[in-house]
Amino acid sequence: MKLAGAALRLTIFVGDTDTWHHKPLYHEIVHRAHAAGLAGASVFRGIEGYGASNHIHTARILSLSEDLPVSIVIVDAAERIRAFLPRLDELISEGLVILEEVEVIRYVGRPSGEQAR
């Protein structure tokens, strides 16, 4: 079965060494999104990038770097995403937040006992 429609994608860019109360910041964001009942969240670690500091961070062996880029992607209905934004205000002191309108096609599981065709 497919569910489809308009949604909003929230992408949050932070560094992998950013913390909230001695835990990774991305961990706190995902747990707050879960507690808020958002549809889902995924964390992606970058292998190279730069941001406001204009300093390139990389995972290459010869250029050992800390603070690699991390993105947290959350997709849900626009009103649910917008209601979640104030919860980020106290967490993010440095980073980037992007909102994008998207069209979602979501495949959901089959009822138990139904065979794949």
In this structure, are residues 25 and 17 in contact, taking their beta carbons and an 8 Å threshold?
no
Give the pLDDT confidence of 7-64 residue by residue, as tens digits: 999 999 998 889 999 999 999 999 999 999 999 999 999 877 777 666 666 655 555 5
pTM: 0.79
What mean pLDDT is reported for the chain? Answer: 85
Q: Which pair of tokens denotes residue 5?
A: 């429609």
Q: Which pair of tokens denotes residue 33?
A: 């999104």
Q: Above pLDDT 90, what percent of the chain?
A: 57
Q: What DSSP state is assigned to residue 110?
A: P
